[in-house]
Structure 1
Amino acid sequence: MLKTYRGSCHCGAVRIEADMDISAGTGKCNCTICLKMRLWSVVVKPEAFRLIAGEEALTDYRGRNPVAHHFFCSQCGVRPFERIDAPNMTDETYYNINVACLDGVDIDELVAAPVTYCDGLNNNWGSTPAEVRHL
């Protein structure tokens, strides 16, 4: 069910709001940054995402993927969301919302939701990695 979630970084400087249906599915990726950050995310379209506060506290880390903006709070270091610009697999800009940064998530709904795994490590984004247990 579509629901509006609110969330933040650890210190609260960056606050977000997003309309999403967690039960529709979440995602994990094995690319180097997602693996190191243990990102567990829900994808939302730009019109479903709102940065409520903290734009000035955000730092945009650009890694190996030229369309990925890995935003993190410059005060506490937590990454509540990232923006993926086109061109990408969907050819549309989207946001990955870090479920660990959301307030009031129903844990039963989260663990019951299907998880899609992406093989970003091998730049094979549409495929599931051979090993996902560590993600």
Structure 2
Amino acid sequence: MSISEYRFHTKTAVYYFCQTCGISPYHRPRCDPENQMSVNFRCIDSDTIESFTIEPVDGKNWE
């Protein structure tokens, strides 16, 4: 897998994607790129997902 990054608009958020298949496995959000990372759970094995605690996000007031 060859990972590249993409930035747009303010160039603060960083989106990473696979150059081979195009999937975006993770990104660093604009609100706190130095300390936060969002992970695409579709890229993680299902038995690994069970060990995570999922915390709901208020999409209306996220920034």
Percent sequence identity is 24
Deviations 1:95-132 (A, max 9, x none): 111111111222xx77xx4420334xxxx633xxxxxx
Deviations 1:7-60 (A, max 9, x none): xxxxxx2xxxxxxxxxxxxxxxxxxxxxxxxxxxxxxxxxxxxxxxxxxx1121
Question: Which structure has greater strand proportion?
Answer: 1
RMSD: 2.6
TM, length-normalised to structure 2 = 0.64
TM, length-normalised to structure 1 = 0.35
Decide whether aligned partners of structure 1 residues 101 and 116 sit closer, same or farther in structure 2, where only a CA change above 3 A counts: same
Q: How does 1:112-127 map to 2 (within 5 A)?
A: 113-119=54-60, 125-126=62-63
Counterpart among 47, 53, 63 of residue 8 in structure 2: 63
The corresponding residue for 1:96 is 38
Q: List runs of 5+ in structure 1 lacking aligned partners.
A: 1-12, 14-56, 127-135
* Count of residue pairs the alignment pairs up: 59
Question: Structure 1 residue 65: deviation in Å?
Answer: 4.1
Q: List runs of 5+ in structure 2 lacking aligned partners.
A: none
Runs in 1 of length 4+ with deviation above 4 angstroms? none
Name the aligned partner's letter for residue 64 of structure 1: H
